């Protein structure tokens, strides 16, 4: 009686709603004999009705709003899981493609890209609820990104539906490509701040020097201002360099070179000392792509002793000032003194220091340096 009452109720409702599909199938329930019948698909529900000449009155109805997911990953079996996964309707077909497609289109389900022949209900958003995108420029960027992604997904689903219905094309799953935060990648910077030096060599008359610093990183170089007549200069100047794209952390190739000179106006400058800042192991994503008030990157502040130029340094990489240094001290290496205080960190163009940071230029080798310096 209960099943007859349910069948009568369902029949009355179906008179008010048109059927969008009907498919022959077999209902397989655990502990029961299989029921042969048809699956009737409507816009708000699906109903299985047994058709065994009145010997079986089995009727099972699933409402669209109760659906958890639709699984047709097996070629002959369609599982309708509903009531938050607590109930399941297992139906066997000669082929599950047609009934699966009928239910997906009628109920406007979202198909899985990673798992073909699998669909779930589209989560409806509260149109009156406002999303929190944040404040200021960052909030505007987040809002634009969200709107663009939503528009893309909507257009992609419409295109696939048109191609499937009109052209009969089999749409492959949309590949899951990694998302790249373009702004974060573009804005990554290595900052080098030259604070001060002390106990530098005196290169001029009067036991003094006019020191300045050249900072080199991956073929780029930046030059500080010149501090007149001092052996303990203070620059407090910062420079920024683009970090290598695609690197997670810096390695041995990412050393920062510091060269200190004495400015000789109208002639070649005097070499005072050289230092190398090891950046190996520093993570590129520290602070990159984030506003400066969130997860500030770790800054490394350290004194570096000055030393002679590396002996394996190519002549055409440095300028002719090094030729002068070799000529002045040809009898033996000069005793280098002094040290320089350097601060380094990986940040981005949101960093406060970016606005005042010096912009490096490409180091152009001097093709004549090697030839001119060869006799020495």
> Residue 229 in contact with residue 237, Cβ under 8 Å?
no
Higher-pLDDT residue of 96, 178: 96
Question: In this predicted model, what pLDDT tens digit does every residue of 241-250 receive, in sequence order?
Answer: 988 877 888 8
Using the predicted structure, report yes or no on whether residue 329 has a pLDDT greater than 80: no
Q: What is the pLDDT of residues 179-218, one digit of tens each?
A: 556 666 677 889 999 999 999 999 888 889 999 999 999 8
Lowest model confidence (mean pLDDT) among 104-118, 150-164, 322-336: 322-336
Model pLDDT, residue 153: 75
- pLDDT tens for 292-324 read 434 567 889 999 999 988 777 654 444 555 555
User: Which tokens go with 113?
Assistant: 């890209």
Q: What rounded mean pLDDT belongs to the chain?
A: 80
Task: Say how many Å lie between the first and final Cα of the chain, rounded.
Answer: 111
pLDDT at 310: 79
In terms of pLDDT, which residue wins out, 174 or 228?
Answer: 228
- Return the pLDDT at 351: 81
Q: What is the pLDDT of residue 39?
A: 94
The CA distance from 186 to 245, in Å, is 9
Give the pLDDT confidence of 3-60 residue by residue, as tens digits: 545 455 545 544 567 899 999 999 988 778 889 999 999 999 999 999 877 788 889 9
Model confidence over 238-297: pLDDT tens digits? 999 988 877 888 888 889 999 999 998 776 788 899 999 999 888 887 655 444 434 567
How many angstroms separate the CA atoms of 118 and 127, rounded? 27
Could you tell me what percent of the chain has a pLDDT over 70? 74
**CA separation for the pair 200, 231 (Å, rounded):** 5
Percentages (nearest 5) of helix, strand, coil residues in the chain: 25, 35, 45
Average pLDDT over residues 113-128: 76
Q: What angle do CA 234, 238, 243 make, to 5 degrees?
A: 145
Structure tokens at 276: 């190398």
pTM for the model stands at 0.51
> Could you tell me which of 215, 214, 184 has the C-alpha nearest to residue 297?
184
pLDDT confidence of residue 180: 58
Contacts of 124 (CB under 8 A, 6+ apart): none
Tell me the mean pLDDT in the region 110-134. 76
Which residues partner with 283 through β-bridges? 249
pLDDT computed for residue 257 by the predictor: 93
Q: Is 112 exposed, middle or buried (0-12, 13-18, 19+ CB in 10 A)?
A: middle
């Amino acid at each position: 009686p209960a099943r007859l009452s349910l069948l009568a109720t369902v029949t009355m409702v179906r008179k008010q709603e048109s059927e969008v599909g009907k498919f022959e199938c077999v209902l397989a329930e655990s502990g029961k004999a299989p029921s042969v019948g048809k699956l009737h698909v409507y816009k708000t529900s699906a109903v299985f009705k047994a058709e065994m000449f009145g010997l079986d009155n089995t009727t099972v109805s699933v409402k669209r709003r109760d659906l958890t997911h639709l699984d047709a990953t097996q070629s002959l079996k369609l599982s309708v899981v509903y009531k938050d996964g607590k109930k399941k309707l297992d139906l066997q077909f000669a082929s599950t493609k047609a009934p699966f497609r009928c239910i997906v289109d009628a109920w406007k389900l979202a198909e899985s890209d990673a798992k073909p022949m699998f669909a779930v209900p589209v989560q409806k958003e509260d149109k009156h609820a406002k999303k929190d995108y944040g404040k200021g420029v960052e909030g505007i960027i987040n809002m634009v990104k969200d709107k663009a992604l939503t528009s893309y997904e909507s257009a992609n689903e419409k295109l696939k539906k048109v191609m499937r219905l009109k052209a009969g094309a089999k749409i492959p799953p949309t590949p899951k490509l990694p998302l790249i935060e373009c702004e974060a990648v573009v804005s990554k910077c290595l900052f080098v701040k030259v604070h001060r030096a002390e106990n530098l060599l005196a290169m001029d008359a009067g036991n003094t020097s006019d020191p300045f610093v050249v900072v080199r990183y991956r073929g780029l170089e930046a030059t500080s201002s010149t501090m007149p007549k001092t052996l303990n200069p203070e620059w407090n100047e910062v420079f920024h360099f683009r970090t290598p794209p695609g690197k997670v952390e810096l390695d041995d190739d990412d050393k920062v070179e510091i060269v200190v000179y004495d400015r000789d106006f109208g002639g070649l400058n005097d070499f005072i000392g050289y230092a190398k800042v090891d950046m190996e192991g520093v993570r590129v994503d520290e602070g990159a792509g984030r506003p400066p008030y969130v997860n500030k990157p770790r800054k490394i502040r350290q004194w570096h002793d000055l030393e002679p130029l590396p002996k394996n340094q190519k002549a055409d990489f440095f300028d002719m000032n090094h030729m002068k240094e070799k000529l002045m001290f040809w009898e033996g290496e000069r005793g280098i003194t002094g040290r320089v205080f350097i601060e380094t960190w990986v940040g981005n163009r949101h960093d406060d220091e970016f606005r005042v940071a010096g912009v490096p230029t490409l180091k152009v080798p001097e093709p004549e340096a090697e030839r001119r310096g060869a006799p020495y």
